[in-house]
Amino acid sequence: MLKPVAPATEKRLRIGQAASRLGVEPYVLRFWEEEFPQAAPARTPKGQRYYTEEHLRMLERIKHLLYVEKLTIKGARQKLEASKARREPLALIRRELEEIRRMLREKP
């Protein structure tokens, strides 16, 4: 799932703007939101969707899997989950290495 976004820190796009940038119709983004929970946009307190660059990267990946690689919704979902499973251990290793680096810098 994408992290929540502080509205003042990142540029936000409404659904029509995001759809236009991706070259799809807004209803396609709504459909993908239901099928791919990791691509769900952030929402304002009134419930309006807004998309960040991180959301757009995820949606571009979904579009590529569906339109270029010609995967089914299920196949695209599985591929996204598999890539997430590969990234998580790497993120853990990266955090541990950064912690080691911090500890080495603190030692005289």
Distance (Å) of CA 93 to CA 15, 44, 97: 36, 35, 6
Residue-wise pLDDT for 52-88, tens only, equals 999 999 999 999 999 999 999 999 999 988 876 666 7
47: left (phi over 0), alpha (psi -120 to 50) or beta: left
Contacts of 29 (CB under 8 A, 6+ apart): 15, 18, 19, 22, 41, 49, 59
Strand locations in the chain, DSSP E? 42-43, 49-50
Is residue 7 assigned to a domain?
A: no
pLDDT over 90 (residue 5): no
CATH code, 59: 1.10.1660.10
Quick check: is 1 in a domain?
no
When divided into structural domains, the chain yields a total of 1
pLDDT band at 11 (very low <50, low <70, confident <90, very high): confident
Round the average pLDDT of the chain to a whole number and report it.
Answer: 87
Residue 5: inside a domain, yes or no? no
